[in-house]
Amino acid sequence: MSKSVTKRILGIDPGYGRCGFGIIEEKNRDWYCLTHGVITTSKEKGHAARLLEIFEDLRVLIAKYQPTTLVIEELFFAKSTTTALKVAEARGVILLLAEEQGLDIIEVKPNEVKMSVTGYGKAEKQQIQEMVKTLFGFKETPKPDDAADALAVAWCGTGRCNDMREQE
């Protein structure tokens, strides 16, 4: 009898001040949340030090939970060019770590995440959070929002995005 491979997905809602993460696992064809939260970096630190903090904290999470796949949301907008660049740099650090750790990498668009979780590509944040609560059997919506968003991103990696892409 062969031993089945455990599927674990690390979902990331990228940011440099707050980086949301969620790790889910498949058991008996159902998905369960193992952990979720945010990596919060200090505003008093320089940008490079904040990127290093994200890198190190994610390295610890990967070592502890051993995901097989990283799903990360693509950058779609920002309030300013400066913010967009900093978030893009955080994404680069995260992608580098995932590659170094041998994880499969899936990059998803925000509308793909919304579609996979709610069935509607223009869903509002509240709708996504309510569906994340339902999908993982939480009594309350995961807080902060970045953690709930990261779980939605992880959910997209379960194959729901691929299903949506095939329909296009």
Which residues have a catalytic role annotated? Answer: 13, 73, 146
21 CB neighbour count, 10 Å cutoff: 29
Q: In what order do the strands lie in the sheet with 30-40?
A: 30-40, 18-27, 8-13, 69-73, 104-108
- The answer to whether the peptide bond before residue 144 is cis (omega within 30 degrees of 0) is yes
Rg (CA), the chain: 15
Would you give the end-to-end CA distance of the chain in angstroms?
Answer: 39
Residues 156, 9 contacting (CB under 8 angstroms): no
The DSSP output letter for 123 is -
Q: How far apart are CA 89 and CA 102, in angstroms?
A: 20
**Chain-centroid distance, C-alpha 88:** 15
